[in-house]
Structure 1
């Protein structure tokens, strides 16, 4: 079940709620009982073993300008 982050405008507390995606926009009450809350944008961390980007061929320059500037 997705976890959503909220911040209370009354007391400044931040808190998390687990709820179905269908209820993502539903109002939330902070643990102190205040109802003036806003949903925060959450970051999602995705980790994995593989890479979707193929590696560069060995021996090539690279960098911001193809290796000509030595960066």
Structure 2
């Protein structure tokens, strides 16, 4: 089951609640008993085994070496 982060507006405590996705938007009571809480926006990251990104192209042949001036 996913965790949802909440912050209590009364005491400022941040806490997590584990519940089914079907109850994701249900209100939560903080551990100190306050009921004025707000659900925080959390991010989800994954690491996969997909293809590596292509390397950045190098300087063009006969071009400038960088910095706006020719070598």
TM-score, normalisation: structure 2: 0.72
Alignment gaps of 5+ in structure 2: none
Report the counterpart of residue 38 of structure 2 in structure 1: 38
Tell me the C-alpha RMSD between the 2 structures: 2.4
With over 3 angstroms needed to count, the CA separation of the structure-2 counterparts of 1:8 and 1:56, relative to structure 1, is same
Larger radius of gyration: 2
Alignment gaps of 5+ in structure 1: 63-67
TM-score, normalisation: structure 1: 0.72
Size of the aligned set, in residue pairs, is 63
